[in-house]
Amino acid sequence: MKKTLHISILLTFFLNGAESGTLNEELLRKYALQSFPEYLELLSIPNVATVPGQHIIDNANWLKAAFEKRGFKIVMAENKNHPLVLGELTPTSASQKTILYYIHFDGQPVINSQWSQPNPFKPVLKKKSSTGQWEVVDMGEMMKLDFDPELRLFGRSTSDDKGPIGMFLASLDLIKAQGLKMGNNVKIILDSEEENNSPGIAAVVEQHKDFLKSDAVVILDAAAHPSGKPNLVFGNRGVVTLTLIAYGPKSPLHSGHYGNYVPNPAMNLVQLLASMKDAKGKVTIPGYDASTQLSRDDLNVLHATGDDEAAIKKRVGIASSDQVAATYGESLQYPSLNIRGLSAASVGSESANIIPKDATAEIDIRTTQEAGGTYLIGLLKKHIEQQGYHLQDHAPTDDERAQYAKIIQIKTGTPSEAARQPLNSAIRLWGEGALSDAFVGLPNSPKPVLIRAMGATVPTYEIVSPLRVPFVLVPSVNADNNQHAYDENLRLGNYIFGMRQISALLTAPYPQ
């Protein structure tokens, strides 16, 4: 299908009429409203993959039924009690290309006491008051055709990543009800362990490679560009986690009797961690950033995103940023080194005057294509040894305690590798064309923002490597959604935004 014909289809689909020149929000809202009850039902099923129980299987079964209702042939891929849901929309056409859509349905752990609602799996609707505070409003406010787009639904996975699942299902319903033609054959892979680095997905994709055979992959995850423009992302960093345990005395000791004599493992650990970065936030480990080389074209793309860094700083509440690179987007192209957890004995009312027996740091490293997990962990280990530590993979014995003055136990998690797609690819032309068409008629008819690689991690590499296909990430949820933290939320206007993008991609033919 020629691009001009595709534009005419989308205009017929989205516009209220030639005279209005505005997008048909009413049509999108109608099918959003129809999908909200399902979306709320899905959100009510707990989905923390690292917590044992039936809940991940319950999510998978719910998704199986929801997609089968819409004509998908579903395969439940076994994965150590964390099944992945694979699907193909039938019937298919031999003359069309096939697009595989990836979304994950698991969520980050929750600490109920941190949330501003009794149960993170019982969504709450809120509206910002005149004083800037979020106030609970009746759920019926989101069930009106003219609902306020600034309303937000609070709950675990409202945005990351059950929001895009709701948007996808609503878009399928809209397309079918309006008698529109799918631009390509459609397949899905719904991941149950993305928040745990998707340890089983590579094996599942390899095992079901024939069923998942496709011409391109679209990752529906991550936050949309703060400007409100559609955006396409052509890569993501990988991630690997580490646990460092510094050891002191065999048991906690009275700080009065032993302070100034027995080394404190917490003090040793924080000094070690401080040696890894300078005051400007740059990693000081030799070679850590050296492999990242940005071309002039790369920098042009990064600088064209138009990130409002003053607004970012205001939203997150900082006066100045780390000086890893000149801009926000550029800084995400480098590998990171983050302390995600730190502990030693107790704090608050439970703290005691002791020298703790050990201290623990949980670290996550965001990797790049040029600097993978094995390479960066090797540099980190070498640095730790240069600070005078003996590294080992187990708790020290008495003999080891007597032999080594400073001991660190290191545990490494399962890595998820980085992936990046060339910007001059057919998938860019397809995605850019589809999203540009979808936003015709909106103020300034915004063109998609192109992003070289986002800072976060999804298992792109593990999916596209066995299938050997191009990919693109299409974010949709609001940038300030609190994902991975308490009070996660989704702005209802972004639900419509996501439907607009997904509907456009589903109806846009991929280049032959």
Q: CA geometry: angle at 161 spanning 147 and 333, to 5°?
A: 115
Q: Are 507 and 13 in contact (CB under 8 A)?
A: yes
Nearest partner of 59 among 221, 161, 192, judged by Cα: 192
> What's the pLDDT at 299?
93
CB-CB contact of 494 with 220 (8 Å)? no
Position 21 pLDDT exceeds 90: no
* Domains located in the chain, CATH noted: 3-236+419-507 (3.40.630.10), 238-292+334-412 (3.30.70.360)
Per-residue pLDDT tens for 222-260? 999 999 999 999 999 999 999 999 999 999 999 999 999
Q: Give the pLDDT of residue 414.
A: 85
CB atoms under 10 Å from CB of 157, counted, come to 29
This prediction's pTM: 0.90
What pLDDT is recorded for position 4?
A: 43
The encoded tokens of residue 387 equal 């600070």
CB atoms closer than 10 angstroms to residue 406: 17
φ/ψ bin of 231: left (φ > 0), alpha (ψ from -120 to 50), beta (otherwise) = beta
Alpha-carbon Rg for the chain in angstroms: 25
3-state secondary structure of 466: helix
Across the range 288-310, mean pLDDT stands at 93
What secondary structure letter does DSSP report for 295?
-
pLDDT in tens, 111-143: 999 999 999 999 999 999 999 999 999 999 999
Instruction: Give the single-character DSSP code of 343.
Output: E
Per-residue pLDDT, 23: 42
* Residue owning tokens 């199986």: 64
Does the pLDDT of residue 93 top 90, yes or no?
A: yes
